[in-house]
Amino acid sequence: MEAIFEALPGLEVPVGGIGRSLARMWADEAAGGRPAPEAEDAKATQVNFVLHLGFNTDAADAARQFATVVRFAQRYPCRVVVLCPRAPAAGGPPLRAKIYGECFLGRTRADKRCVEFVMLSYDRSARAQLEDQVSICLSTDLPLYYWAHRFADSGRLADYRFLLGQAKRVILDSAESPADAMRYPWPNPAAIRDLAYCRLLPVRQGVGQFLAAYAPEALTGGLSGVEVGHGAAWRAEGRVLAKWVGERLGACGWGAGPGGVEVREQVEAGVDLGLRFRYAGGGKEFVWSGDLAAGHAHFRADFGQGRTELTAGLALLAPEVALSEAMFF
pLDDT tens-digit series, residues 4-24 = 999 999 999 999 999 999 989
Per-residue pLDDT, 68: 97
74-98 average pLDDT score: 87
Q: Are the C-beta atoms of residues 279 and 259 closer than 8 Å to each other?
A: no
Q: How far is CA 68 from CA 53, 130, 323, 324, in A?
A: 13, 24, 9, 11
Q: Which range is least confidently modeled, 72-76, 89-93, 222-226, 281-285? A: 89-93
CATH architecture of 201-313: 2-Layer Sandwich (3.30)
Polymer length of the chain? 329
The domain spans of the chain are 2-195+322-328, 201-313
From CA 225, how far away is CA 276, in angstroms rounded? 9
Q: Are the C-beta atoms of residues 224 and 261 closer than 8 Å to each other?
A: no
The pTM score is 0.92
How does the average pLDDT of the chain come out, rounded?
A: 91
Q: How far is CA 96 from CA 39, 67, 78, 88, 130, in A?
A: 29, 21, 22, 14, 11
From CA 81, how far away is CA 206, in angstroms rounded? 36
| Torsion angle in degrees (nearest 10) through CA of 157, 189, 241, 329 | -110
pLDDT tens-digit series, residues 128-185 = 889 999 999 998 889 999 999 999 999 999 999 999 999 999 999 999 999 999 999 9
Q: Which residue has the higher pLDDT, 83 or 283?
A: 83
Q: Which residue has the higher pLDDT, 287 or 110?
A: 287
Residue 320's closest CA among 7, 4, 78? 78
